[in-house]
Structure 1
Amino acid sequence: MPPTAGEALPQGRPRRRVLLPLPLAGAYDYRVPEDLDPPELGAFVQVPLGGRETIGVVWDGDADPNLPERRLKNITAVLDVPPMTATLRKFVDWVAAYTVSPPGAVLRMAMSSPSALEPPAAKAGWRLSAAGRAVLARGGKVTPTRMRVLEALEGELSQGDANEAHLATTIASAAGVSSGVLRGMAEAGLLEPALIARAAEFPVPDLRKQGPALAEDQQVAGAALRQAVATRGFGVTLLQGVTGSGKTEVYLEAVAECLAQGRQALVLLPEIALSAQWLERFEARFGCPPALWHSELGSRRRRDTWRGVAEGRVQALVGARSALFLPFPDLGLVVVDEEHETSFKQEEGVIYSARDMAVVRARLNEAACVLVSATPSLETLNNAETGRYASLNLPVRHGGATLPKVSTIDQRVTPPERGRFLSPPLVQAVRDAIGRGEQAMLFLNRRGYAPLTLCRTCGHRMRCPNCTAWLVEHRIQRRLQCHHCGHAEPIPPTCPECGAEGSLTPLGPGVERVQEEASELFPDVRRLVMASDTLPGPAAAAEAARAIQAREVDLIIGTQIVAKGWHFPHLTLVGVVDADLGLAGGDLRAAERTVQLLHQVAGRAGRAEAPGQVMLQSWNPEHPVMQALISGDLEGFMAAEADQRRPGHWPPFGRLAALIVSGEDERETDAIARDLGLEAPGGEGVEVLGPAPAPLALLRGRHRRRLLIKVRRDVAVQPILREWLSRVRVPASVKVQVDVDPVSFL
């Protein structure tokens, strides 16, 4: 607002750029009022925006000196929280530039616990009063028990600050007295009440504990990782090893070295909520659990953990991909376990790969980065082969265990009985394994009872009203559900198309159907289904792992959850119900993903003394994926994959980016996609495909079209994308998402 007549304008007050956690183009300029000291870079500040107050971060760069004073608003307050470090600010800017996203949208991920920016809640406690300090100074007459309290407050509890307040339970424990003694001392004026700032306690890892005995190759790899951390510089190491080779224990050596250096360590896992066994290993190694960061943490724990990281009280943290944006003041190590996992790619909001951004975060922090996998991605393998990454290999299983024998069951020769999905050889193998007192697993990467329900009378297929997807039957819950948008409805008694009663029939198997068949074939066998529907969180996953390890389960039936690093010593047989499932469609990485998933699943078998056996039910056992799994020659398979991609400049020998155009109005969405297609960039080394309907052409009620740009490896795709998008006016009703380095092509 312009000033009123006679109103003096403040002159020469400092200005600061403030980035807000909103999808805005950049930082806004604000004025520092006279009653505030100019905040430093990275300070969290409260500022007005529109008709409300919001919190942002003082950002790098100079404010616009030409902006008139009348257009500036004042910073309202500077928050009492450690400022965002320069490295994290650079990381936010780097991710925004790489993903072609607004910096404020990336900042929002780094401010994922707004309550952590508020002062910690205070608790009531006690501290020495003036009278109590006088007694200590002049040796006044008090009982021995009261003297112990006074001495504890001045001595072991004070840590140099005798005015510090402490909880009554803490004081009583330190002095060996009851709470009644403290109340009496307060009545006598020796103690006075005071508030204690509440700070969550995070246990300190015990670096004196020795880990398990390592084999010679593990010792060599562990020493190399320790050295990489000890240099206190940036470098990336691929730690590759067969399933069961002890990769976790090896990279925990790097964690130990990082903590010994006084720096913070971050381990990223693809499914932290399902990693009970990993947490047990960490606690066995360091005497305490690490701090956790994942979506199922309660709001208070998220607040405490965010603040604990910022204040340096969290030394080791294990988390999901979002943990990359936590405010580590001195990050010395980033580990990405199962680096090939597609769940490290965030597909909503700011679309990014946590594996790739972990390398960037480590570089900005002058930290070591370790990428871990039994089946590394082709991108990571290429970086190791070209010398960008160091490489370590663990070629044998730990403790004398051997790799399982892998074979295929040709379903053209020995198909399942009519109406069933388990072939006779697999059924017999399950009976034999359980008969020997061992455990078996049946794997099918498909949730629910059946992937498709149709009417026998008219052929109508039950589909989602919001998505281009069939509804999956979940028989236990008696509902049909879309696994893309969550839409659910009861199973109707009649066909909604022709009205025929009792005509709806499930087609194809899901894990519930395999469980039903197993209950008929093996009625006396103790079974457990491991899927995201049946293991909704950490507690359920931990209980499942406990039951399997305690041999309370004979047969495990699971989806891809069972492939994620579990160690079940008595599991000797893995049967894959549909090994061909991931090979359908035209996905660039379909074969690579399938061989990775099936190799990881196969790796659950025979991890102890008893040898393991893996049986793959397939309609195409001659496929290169099946042959690679049988021979164990994953290196040759990946080399052949590379040879196929190299001539066409497909990743990792070129770069891809996708534009996903979506809107509620199909014609409007088509028009914007067409305009983008007409304005598509060209030139040497640049190729644009589309627009075309996405495989999921309707998702959550929005119509979707895709364009794909492919460029040579030496061409930067981001400037091309920005210039391309600037040429087309997109209405607010249509959204254009940018996906650099796409993993999913749905």
Structure 2
Amino acid sequence: MREGRGKHRGMKDTLSVAVEPRLKVLLPLPLAGAYDYRVPRTLSLKIGDFVVVPLNQRDILGVVWDSPTEGESKPVPDHRLRAITAVLPAPPMTESLRRFVDWVAAYTLSPPGAVLRMAMSVPAALEAPTPQAGWVLAGPGGNRQPRITPERQRVLDAMRPGEVQAGGQLAAAARVSLGVLRGMADNGLIRPALLPHPRRFARPDPDHPGPVLGDAQAAAAAALVERVAARAFGVTLLTGVTGSGKTEVYLDAVAECLRQGRQALVLLPEIALSAQWLDRFRARFGVAPALWHSEIGSRTRRDTWRAVAQGEAPVVVGARSALFLPFPDLGLVVVDEEHETAFKQEDGVVYHARDMAVVRARLAKAACVLVSATPSLETLNNAETGRYQALHLPQRHGGATLPAVEMVDLRQAPPERGRFLSPPLIAAVSETIGRGEQAMLFLNRRGYAPLTLCRHCGHRMRCPNCTAWLVEHRAQRRLQCHHCGHAEAPPAECPECGTANSLTAVGPGVERVLEEAIALWPEARRVVMASDTLPGPAAAAAAAQAIQDRAVDLIIGTQIVAKGWHFPHLTLVGVVDADLGLAGGDLRAAERTVQLLHQVAGRAGRAEAPGRVLLQSFSPEHPVMRALVSGDLDAFMREEAAMRRPGHWPPFGRLAALIVSSEDEREAERTARDLGLAAPGGEGVQVLGPAPAPLALLRGRHRRRLLLKTRRDIAVQPVLREWLARVEVPNSVRVQVDVDPVGFL
């Protein structure tokens, strides 16, 4: 039954069944709001409790909710209400997390239940842990005197009065079999007992000796510590050149959060980054933090979720989904590499974890720190207008200097025919490896080649499900779509004209750069760092360790190598195609390119030996290239802001996208046309489209886009709600709302 949706009744946190016979229960389903359920007199419930309720012919988990939702209908009569079945033995969802679910749903125009699902991602953690049995000393047992064998004596020596020990561990410590323990129990020497709840995560020591901070670092760290100690919401932007020690600075803020007895959350854009980050954390606090990302196993996921809810996980480092963990007392939220687009969730509930982290911190009355060497224009604008405080580290830590950045004009020094590395870059790599130092070749493109075509008829190998070319992965002998995952073996002949052996690879990917590197430097020890070759944190950690141990001479990688790594012996970075990110009409193409290339350049020269960066480009006069060579990123961002301000483009205006998709192209076209005809207007409001999306076919669905652009002072959510309400959307069509889009595919 749908809930009653009348005036909010202002319930208190503890409810008397006699006064309030019905409660709202929000379910983790894409529904418009909560449902009303009857409270049995046998249950005592609080707002936030996790409960089991009937829905249709099945039982489902939900949360006792306390906030009104949009579009409430008339209350359901008491006699038609179904009863709550049970309350689960898990800590109730906190008020700040419930308000966060409501806020994200309202901001993204998503069903509250769809957002709740992210906060209830581990249903197994809501059940009470299975008690584990062990053994404890039985104590005096009357006049009975059992025989004490050497084996039994070793068991008794390994036990302490009142301490419960697991059977396997006790038997191993005493070097006996489990049968000896059972015999001792039969003779009254020991007795079974339940093991205490194990603490999964050791508490980090905030006063554990850490690295010595420089003057600028110490000043920035003191400012962050003061803001955490205030136990109030505030946002600080921590910037600094690559290698300036930003991580060590904000770890001091984490230490203060621990002293305050509160929990800290650190968000990283890539799972692979956790490898070296964890080493720094252990060096600072003596133990590892809790990890949260898609690669951890189901048991670890369950234990971690419950430990967070019970306050037993003081520090969590994770991906964007960690924002929805049930922290009872969150005191600090850090977003490292805040400019990264990996923080944007593109499927399901579409949200930006950086922006939602600020909201999460505000609702928890916690400090928030955004960290980047190349902050986004949105964050810079918030700092310049006073919404965020700002701290800056102007120099690299420990006396290291920034690398020299040079251009290689491919028009003047082109590679050999069929090759992609220019003579100046080849010479620089050879010299670097010859000195016993490490070099890196960077190309932000996976696979062997981005396009395969027929030399005879020009046919291009395309994904059948997407408007995308199939990428050749020669080592695995497959052509693959990086959007939907479709893969097929390379055909022996052209599918269009039937000519045999006519298909050829066009353009380079990292596999093709590897092939060229093998031919040029056959003796060099190489590693390829890409999402295809590093499937998880363990593989990334192994590669990073090999590089640190100087077991690698040449690193070849995609954007995964650009973020946060510290390789002290890496002195040369060569960017194979610096122009790659500038293609297309993306609003943020120049900004993203300068951020990415500055970050990858920052991997060079992070220790005593000076670093050097070579950028291969056909457009060395481009503002992005000039900014990278001069090192004046601030001037570039000012120019970028000046170009966006007159047209009210972000951050000086608001954007929201509607993506219309259907398996039926005519249905998608028709719905997009109807939305275009019903588009809102007025001063400061503009709608662009409908038009085919750049990926007009994605995963078998035809796509059309409309873009709402408004002045900064106009809230887009009411405009979107009214707009969508004017158009009837068929069941076969999906309209996805993307508020504040960062990509336009």
Query: Which TM class, normalised by the smaller chain length?
Result: over 0.9
Structure 1 position 134, deviation (Å): 7.0
Letter in 1 for 2:48: G
Letter in 2 for 1:152: R
Structure 1 position 209, deviation (Å): 1.1
> Which residue is equivalent to 1:210?
209
Letter in 1 for 2:715: A
Letter in 2 for 1:263: R
Aligned-partner Cα distance in 2 for 1:167–1:460: 67
Q: Is the 8 A contact 1:145 1:177 kept in 2?
A: no
Letter in 2 for 1:365: A
The percentage of aligned residue pairs carrying the same residue is: 74
Letter in 1 for 2:161: L
Say yes or no: does 1:58 pair with 2:58: no
> Which residue is equivalent to 2:647?
648
Q: Is the 8 A contact 2:439 2:572 kept in 1?
A: yes
Aligned-partner Cα distance in 2 for 1:369–1:392: 13
Change (3 A) 1:59 1:274: same
SS in 1 for 2:615: strand
SS in 2 for 1:92: helix
> Which residue is equivalent to 2:100?
91
Which ranges of structure 1 fall in alignment gaps of 5 or more residues? 2-9, 158-164
Letter in 1 for 2:31: L
> Which residue is equivalent to 1:17?
24
SS in 2 for 1:574: strand
SS in 1 for 2:132: strand
> Which residue is equivalent to 2:361?
362
Say yes or no: does 1:44 pair with 2:50: yes
Aligned-partner Cα distance in 2 for 1:348–1:408: 38
Note the 1:300-379 alignment, pairs <5 A: 300-379=299-378
> Which residue is equivalent to 1:391?
390
Letter in 1 for 2:83: N
Aligned-partner Cα distance in 2 for 1:496–1:726: 46
**Which 10-residue stretch deviates more, 187-196 or 696-705?**
187-196
Letter in 2 for 1:302: R
Aligned-partner Cα distance in 2 for 1:453–1:82: 55
Match of 2:131 among 95, 103, 122: 122
> Which residue is equivalent to 1:33?
40
TM-score, normalisation: structure 2: 0.94
> Which residue is equivalent to 2:285?
286
Aligned-partner Cα distance in 2 for 1:181–1:80: 36
Aligned-partner Cα distance in 2 for 1:494–1:68: 69
Structure 1 position 206, deviation (Å): 2.0
Change (3 A) 1:187 1:445: same
- Cα deviations by residue, 1:444-498 (Å, 9 ceiling, x for unpaired): 0000000011001000000000000000000001110000000000000000000
Change (3 A) 1:646 1:64: closer
**Which 10-residue stretch deviates more, 483-492 or 175-184?**
175-184
Structure 1 position 123, deviation (Å): 2.0
Letter in 2 for 1:335: V
Match of 1:153 among 146, 149, 161: 161
> Which residue is equivalent to 2:79?
70
Structure 1 position 597, deviation (Å): 0.1
> Which residue is equivalent to 1:108?
117
Letter in 2 for 1:24: L
Note the 1:481-492 alignment, pairs <5 A: 481-492=480-491
Aligned-partner Cα distance in 2 for 1:168–1:329: 34
- Cα deviations by residue, 1:397-435 (Å, 9 ceiling, x for unpaired): 011100000011111111111111000000000001111
Letter in 2 for 1:280: D
Q: Is the 8 A contact 2:158 2:170 kept in 1?
A: no
Structure 1 position 68, deviation (Å): 1.1
Structure 1 position 196, deviation (Å): 3.9
Change (3 A) 1:689 1:288: same
Letter in 2 for 1:28: Y
Change (3 A) 1:385 1:133: farther
Letter in 1 for 2:396: R
Structure 1 position 732, deviation (Å): 1.3
**Which 10-residue stretch deviates more, 138-147 or 228-237?**
138-147
SS in 2 for 1:30: strand
Structure 1 position 60, deviation (Å): 0.5
SS in 2 for 1:637: helix
Change (3 A) 1:148 1:262: farther
- Cα deviations by residue, 1:339-374 (Å, 9 ceiling, x for unpaired): 000000000000000000000000000101000000
> Which residue is equivalent to 1:168?
167
Letter in 1 for 2:449: A
Change (3 A) 1:65 1:671: closer
Aligned-partner Cα distance in 2 for 1:199–1:115: 17
Aligned-partner Cα distance in 2 for 1:210–1:725: 57
Structure 1 position 553, deviation (Å): 0.8
Say yes or no: does 1:680 pair with 2:679: yes
Aligned-partner Cα distance in 2 for 1:259–1:172: 37
Change (3 A) 1:146 1:543: closer
Q: Is the 8 A contact 1:17 1:58 kept in 2?
A: yes
Structure 1 position 121, deviation (Å): 2.2
Aligned-partner Cα distance in 1 for 2:300–2:190: 32
Change (3 A) 1:559 1:192: same
- Cα deviations by residue, 1:157-204 (Å, 9 ceiling, x for unpaired): 4xxxxxxx5423666899999978754542232433244476452111
> Which residue is equivalent to 2:470?
471
Aligned-partner Cα distance in 2 for 1:655–1:739: 12
Q: Is the 8 A contact 2:658 2:736 kept in 1?
A: yes
SS in 2 for 1:408: strand
Q: Is the 8 A contact 2:273 2:565 kept in 1?
A: no
- Cα deviations by residue, 1:57-76 (Å, 9 ceiling, x for unpaired): 00004899942123211101
SS in 1 for 2:634: helix
Note the 1:449-528 alignment, pairs <5 A: 449-528=448-527
Q: Is the 8 A contact 1:572 1:613 kept in 2?
A: yes
Letter in 2 for 1:57: V
Change (3 A) 1:148 1:582: same
Aligned-partner Cα distance in 1 for 2:146–2:414: 92
Aligned-partner Cα distance in 2 for 1:664–1:20: 29
Aligned-partner Cα distance in 1 for 2:22–2:190: 47
Q: Is the 8 A contact 2:272 2:541 kept in 1?
A: no
Aligned-partner Cα distance in 1 for 2:198–2:61: 22
SS in 1 for 2:500: coil
> Which residue is equivalent to 2:692?
693
Q: Is the 8 A contact 2:207 2:255 kept in 1?
A: no
Note the 1:176-215 alignment, pairs <5 A: 182-183=181-182, 185-196=184-195, 199=198, 201-215=200-214
Aligned-partner Cα distance in 1 for 2:537–2:22: 47
SS in 1 for 2:704: strand
Letter in 2 for 1:90: R
Aligned-partner Cα distance in 1 for 2:223–2:179: 57
SS in 2 for 1:152: coil
Aligned-partner Cα distance in 1 for 2:159–2:605: 60
> Which residue is equivalent to 2:8?
none
Change (3 A) 1:197 1:460: farther
SS in 2 for 1:122: coil
TM-score, normalisation: structure 1: 0.93
Aligned-partner Cα distance in 1 for 2:558–2:604: 15
Change (3 A) 1:11 1:360: closer
Aligned-partner Cα distance in 2 for 1:125–1:376: 53
Letter in 1 for 2:542: E
Structure 1 position 146, deviation (Å): 9.6
Aligned-partner Cα distance in 1 for 2:571–2:154: 64
Change (3 A) 1:61 1:627: closer
Structure 1 position 11, deviation (Å): 9.9
Letter in 1 for 2:448: Y
SS in 2 for 1:259: helix
Aligned-partner Cα distance in 1 for 2:159–2:664: 75
Aligned-partner Cα distance in 2 for 1:705–1:306: 39
